[in-house]
Structures are given as structure tokens and as C-alpha cells.
Amino acid sequence: MLILGIESSCDDCAAALVRDGETILSQAIHSQFDIHEPFGGVVPELASRNHLEKIVPVVETAMGDADVGWSDLDGVAATYGPGLVGSLLVGLSAAKAIAFSLGIPFQGVNHLEGHLTAIFLEDRTVSFPFLGLIVSGGHTSLYRVEGFGSYQLLGQTRDDAAGEAFDKVAKLLGLGYPGGIVIDRLSRQGDPQAFSFPRAMTSPKTLDFSFSGLKTSVRYFVQKHEPAFIQAHMADLVASFQEAVVDSLIIKLTQAVTSSQLRRIVVSGGVAANSRLRSRLGEVAETEGLDVHFPSPQLCTDNAAMVAAVGYRHLCMGISSPLSLNAVANLLL
Ligand SMILES: Nc1ncnc2c1ncn2[C@@H]1O[C@H](COP(=O)(O)OP(=O)(O)OP(=O)(O)O)[C@@H](O)[C@H]1O
Ligand SMILES: [Mg+2]
């Protein structure tokens, strides 16, 4: 079965063709980096306007790169939440229009289910059940995953998401946008033990996360020191901040392993592309005998292949969405 997936929940306009939920035939993506970069973050109105301009060429590129025609499609899937409503509506409306005109099923996909199960697009060795950590720009949520469609929330952030903390700290330090990639790169030249930042919510009584205190403590650190000192120690500063985020995630994952008795972990979402998180968790997996999986970096961040893959599974289960389906900003999983 061939599914066209469309993703437009934030600042990436993406389309992908996926066969049988696991073989990616093509992926087209238009990044809005240049538009939002001067503002240091995503401007919702500019995002939705740009999606409107790019959605048709992006879909056409994905179709052309996969060398398939409209009549080859078995279904069209699009993210309907969570995300920016104006942006979501563009991809959602395009998907509905294509499905309606072809007389094929349309599937609205929860973006979080896409992240959580993106691993199956490239790693067939993963089996259920597992601990699924979504660590992205809008979420830091830990699930017990028993199978497709069976997700039990174990813990989530009580304030900022981990990716949001990366972005806000990068903005505070004048490092640009998006912050996660910049901090990841610069941290490689820094000492992660140079400065001490707090690890919040370390008690095993909860599997919730918190990152706003860490962000505030970086702000206090900057206020307490001369600008020249901050500039001279920038790599050490961001490496120490990043280490606090990575430690917080690893502390909760190891607590979850103990309480859930699950030894298999799948990490997804934009922050799962972080090189320090990948290497540190890899080391923990080695010493503790855990089975840890990360999608490749391009499948960690927003993409349409994960949307098409979820659409395929819905189609197999006979689930399709009505054309009246609306965009939902705060959709839960
Ligand atoms: N290498 C990296 N290290 C750390 N953070 C990263 C890295 N690459 C991307 N990020 C962060 O990932 C986030 C983007 O991830 P993603 O696209 O999954 O989030 P989103 O779609 O905006 O949010 P959500 O998926 O929760 O709706 C940004 O906050 C970005 O800074
Ligand atoms: Mg995302």
C-alpha cells in the first residue's frame, strides 16, 4: 500500500511517499529556517503563509522523486495536531483535497504517534513493549508502548520541553536558532563539567521532568558574570547546560526502567538527534544491559515519512478520518 504523508505542524513543510509503512520512496522538505531565523523563533503567521506557498510544490516533488502517479496512492495522511493551528490547517486541507479528489481514504495523524513510532521506518529489530521517550520542541513525554495504538503516559514535563530549553538558552546567549543544533555543535569544544547547573525532579517518586529552573539558572549565571567572561567560556557554558539536560533525561529513563521492568528504550523527537544524548545513553545501555534505539537524525526531527507510516497502520486497521476533521493545537496521545 502506498501512502502520501504530509507534515506541516510547525515550520517544516514536508511530504513523503511510504510503501507498506516501512519503505520510504521519497521525502521532500521545505525548511522555513531563513524566515524565522531573524526572529529567533517560529512566527506562526509567517509559518502558515509559507506553508500555503510551498505545500503544492513539496507534494509534487515527493511524488516526482518517488516516480509515482496519483492513481498509485492508496491513502493520504496528514498531521492534525498538536502544533500551530494555522500551519496544521494547510497540510490537513491539502491532504483532504487530494484524498477527496482521488476517492481514497484520508487519515488524520497525531504528530506524537509519528515521533514515537518513527523508529519502525528503519529499524525492524525493535519489538514491543518498550519505553518511548519523545523529547522535542514541544514535548518531553515518557510512554509505556505496548503496541501500535497502545500508549500509556508515564511522565511528562511540568513546564518547558527539553527542546524549548535548548532554544531559549541559545536565544539568551545570542547563539541563534534553532538552538538545539547550535548548542550540540558548540558543546563538542566545551567541558561538560566546567559549570554546575541543577538537575530537577530527580526523585524516583515521579517520572515527570522540569527544565524551566535550568533555563533560569543559566540566565542568573549570565547576569552574574561579565559579558567577556561569558564569551570566553561559551563552549564550556553550553556543554555544561547540555549535560544537565542529558543527565535529567537519563535519570528519568533509568528510574522508568526500574519501575516498569522494561529494558528496551526508543528515543524520538528533535532532541533525540543530540549527539551527547546519543553517546551518553549508548554508554548507559552498555553498562546496564539496556536495548536503546534512536531513529537517524533526519527521522528524529519533523518529517512526513513518520506521518505516512502511521497513516498506513490506520489504513490496515480500517481506520480513516472524516473530511470534517479539524486541526487541534493541544492534542494528547
Ligand atoms: N542536535 C540537537 N540537539 C538538541 N536539540 C535539538 C537538536 N536538533 C534539534 N533539536 C531541537 O529539537 C526541537 C525540534 O524538534 P521537533 O521538530 O521534533 O519539535 P517540534 O515538532 O517543534 O515539537 P513537537 O514534536 O513536540 O510538536 C527544537 O527544539 C530543536 O532545538
Ligand atoms: Mg515534532
Read off the pLDDT of residues 240-280 as tens digits, 9 standing for 90 and up.
999 999 999 999 999 999 999 999 999 999 999 999 999 99
Q: What pLDDT is attached to residue 241? A: 98
Q: What pLDDT is attached to residue 162? A: 98
Q: If you average pLDDT over residues 37-50, what whole number do you get?
A: 94
CA-proximal residue: ligand 1, atom 19 (nearest): 137
Is residue 175 pLDDT above 90, yes or no?
Answer: yes
> Is there a domain that residue 284 lies in?
yes
Kindly report the CA angle at 72 between 70 and 74, in degrees rounded to 5? 100
Out of 88, 271, 294, 333, mutate this one to test ligand 1's pocket (max ligand atoms within 8 Å of CB): namely 271
CATH number at residue 45: 3.30.420.40
Q: Verify that 87 and 195 share a domain, yes or no.
A: no
Give residue 302 CA to ligand 1 midpoint distance, Å.
Answer: 8
Q: If you average pLDDT over residues 277-288, what whole number do you get?
A: 98
Q: If you average pLDDT over residues 178-193, what whole number do you get?
A: 96
Q: Verify that 159 and 285 share a domain, yes or no.
A: yes
> Is there a domain that residue 333 lies in?
no
Q: Is 295 in the pocket of ligand 1 (CB under 6 A)?
A: no
Q: If you average pLDDT over residues 106-130, what whole number do you get?
A: 97
Q: Verify that 144 and 285 share a domain, yes or no.
A: yes
State the residue range of the domain holding 229.
124-294
Is residue 199 pLDDT above 90, yes or no?
Answer: yes
Q: Is 32 in the pocket of ligand 1 (CB under 6 A)?
A: no
Q: Verify that 151 and 268 share a domain, yes or no.
A: yes
Q: What pLDDT is attached to residue 183? A: 98
Task: Encode burial over 285-313: b for 16+ CB neighbours within 10 A, e otherwise.
Answer: beeeebebbbbeeebbbbbbbbbbbbbbb
- Does the pTM surpass 0.95? The reply is yes
Q: What pLDDT is attached to residue 22? A: 94
Q: What pLDDT is attached to residue 151? A: 98
Q: Verify that 272 and 308 share a domain, yes or no.
A: no
Q: Verify that 173 and 111 share a domain, yes or no.
A: no
> Is there a domain that residue 331 lies in?
no
Give residue 194 CA to ligand 2 midpoint distance, Å.
Answer: 31
Mean pLDDT of the chain: 97
Q: Verify that 174 and 246 share a domain, yes or no.
A: yes
Distances in Å between the Cα of 130 and the Cα atoms of 34, 112, 123, 253, 305 are: 38, 16, 14, 11, 21
Q: Verify that 107 and 133 share a domain, yes or no.
A: no
> Is there a domain that residue 257 lies in?
yes
Q: Verify that 83 and 210 share a domain, yes or no.
A: no
> Is there a domain that residue 210 lies in?
yes
CA-proximal residue: ligand 1, atom 27 (nearest): 138
Q: What pLDDT is attached to residue 299? A: 97
Helices 234-260 and 275-288 cross at an angle (nearest 10°) of: 40
3-state secondary structure 32-90: CHHHHHHHCCCCHHHHHHHHHHHHHHHHHHHHHHHCCCHHHCCEEEEEEECCCHHHHHH
Q: What pLDDT is attached to residue 177? A: 85
Where is pLDDT greater, at 41 or 128? Answer: 128
User: Percentage of the chain surpassing pLDDT 90?
Assistant: 98
Give residue 102 CA to ligand 1 midpoint distance, Å.
Answer: 34
Q: If you average pLDDT over residues 147-175, what whole number do you get?
A: 97
Is residue 124 pLDDT above 90, yes or no?
Answer: no
- The total of structural domains in the chain comes to 2
Q: What pLDDT is attached to residue 178? A: 86
3-state secondary structure the chain: CEEEEEECCCCEEEEEEEECCCEEEEEEEEECHHHHHHHCCCCHHHHHHHHHHHHHHHHHHHHHHHCCCHHHCCEEEEEEECCCHHHHHHHHHHHHHHHHHHCCCEEEEEHHHHHHHHHHHCCCCCCCCEEEEEECCCCEEEEEEEECCEEEEEEEECCCCHHHHHHHHHHHCCCCCCHHHHHHHHHCCCCCCCCCCCCCCCCCCCCCECCHHHHHHHHHHHHHCCHHHHHHCHHHHHHHHHHHHHHHHHHHHHHHHHHHCCCEEEEECHHHHCHHHHHHHHHHHHHHCCEEECCCHHHHCCCCHHHHHHHHHHHHCCCCCCCCCCCCCCCCC
Give residue 136 CA to ligand 2 midpoint distance, Å.
Answer: 6
Q: Judge if the upstream peptide bond of residue 178 is cis by omega within 30 degrees of 0.
A: yes
CA-proximal residue: ligand 1, atom 15 (nearest): 270
> Is there a domain that residue 332 lies in?
no
Q: If you average pLDDT over residues 178-190, what whole number do you get?
A: 96
Q: Verify that 178 and 196 share a domain, yes or no.
A: yes
> Is there a domain that residue 184 lies in?
yes
CA-proximal residue: ligand 1, atom 20 (nearest): 137
Q: End-to-end alpha-carbon separation of the chain, Å? A: 25
User: Percentage of the chain surpassing pLDDT 70?
Assistant: 100
Q: If you average pLDDT over residues 277-299, what whole number do you get?
A: 98
Q: Which ligand has the shortest distance to the CA of 163?
A: 1
Out of 181, 275, 277, mutate this one to test ligand 1's pocket (max ligand atoms within 8 Å of CB): namely 181
Give the pLDDT confidence of 201-229 residue by residue, as tens digits: 999 999 999 999 999 999 999 999 999 99
Q: Is 269 in the pocket of ligand 1 (CB under 6 A)?
A: yes
Q: Which ligand has the shortest distance to the CA of 272?
A: 1
Is residue 139 pLDDT above 90, yes or no?
Answer: yes
Q: Is 40 in the pocket of ligand 1 (CB under 6 A)?
A: no
Q: Is 178 in the pocket of ligand 1 (CB under 6 A)?
A: yes
Atom of ligand 1 nearest to the CA of 300: 18
Is residue 315 pLDDT above 90, yes or no?
Answer: yes
> Is there a domain that residue 238 lies in?
yes
Q: Verify that 219 and 286 share a domain, yes or no.
A: yes
Is residue 127 pLDDT above 90, yes or no?
Answer: yes
CA-proximal residue: ligand 1, atom 5 (nearest): 180
Q: Verify that 139 and 272 share a domain, yes or no.
A: yes
